[in-house]
Amino acid sequence: MMLKVKNLSVSFSEIKILEDINFEINENDWLMIIGPNGAGKTTITNAIAQSVPYTGSISLNGKEIEMLPSKERAKEIGVLMQNHHVTYDFKVKDVVGLGAYSRSRGILGSPSLEEEDILKESLIMTGMENFEDRSILTLSGGELQRAFLSQLLVQNPKLMILDEPTNHLDLVYQESIFNLIDKWKSEKNRSVISVVHDLRLARMYGN
């Protein structure tokens, strides 16, 4: 897998946030995006995730991402945002199960036995196995972050985009989450892009 970003520019109300950004990442790479607040770090990830309008080219294995159907895109790219605005009263396991969208016949379809096993494994990996029947609305910020990381592990995309993945997490969980992501990346030959503020973590895990 190769992601290629060429001449990426983003503007809001005639104010240029990004101008002519260029980079490539390959299979098993972990790209760390660092910089001061307001530098456009999150805007880069939002553009790759097709959440903001942009000019330039963002392609995956030679295909423009914006041209991919939603299910195919979900197989290729998964995103963990730094904040989650949840208004629906779903159980944690149901929210995590939505990560299987790209492989399912419909959002509300019953999961297969294999998908059930993947869901349970992802909850265990993030320490959320005791929360599966809780309402998503009752979770703390850190628990919510781990629940959506579980969803991303179920999705199992080729490229994982993480915007401040340790946001809201206690110190005890921060490094363990990075260890988990690094193991997932290496075992499955995936790639990761992370927006981070912690230079220590960037040096430890980025390449």
**What confidence tens digit (pLDDT) does each residue in 130-169 have?**
999 999 999 998 899 999 999 999 999 999 999 988 877 8
Q: What is the pLDDT along the chain (207 residues), one digit of tens a residue?
A: 689 999 999 999 889 999 999 999 999 999 999 988 888 999 999 999 999 999 999 999 999 999 999 888 989 999 998 888 888 899 999 999 999 877 665 555 556 767 789 999 999 999 999 999 999 999 998 899 999 999 999 999 999 999 988 877 887 788 889 999 999 999 999 999 999 988 988 999 998
Q: How far apart are CA 13 and CA 174, in angstroms?
A: 36
Domains of the chain and CATH, by start: 2-205 (3.40.50.300)
Residue percentage of the chain with pLDDT more than 90: 67
| Cβ neighbourhood burial of 148 (10 Å; 0-12, 13-18, 19+) | buried
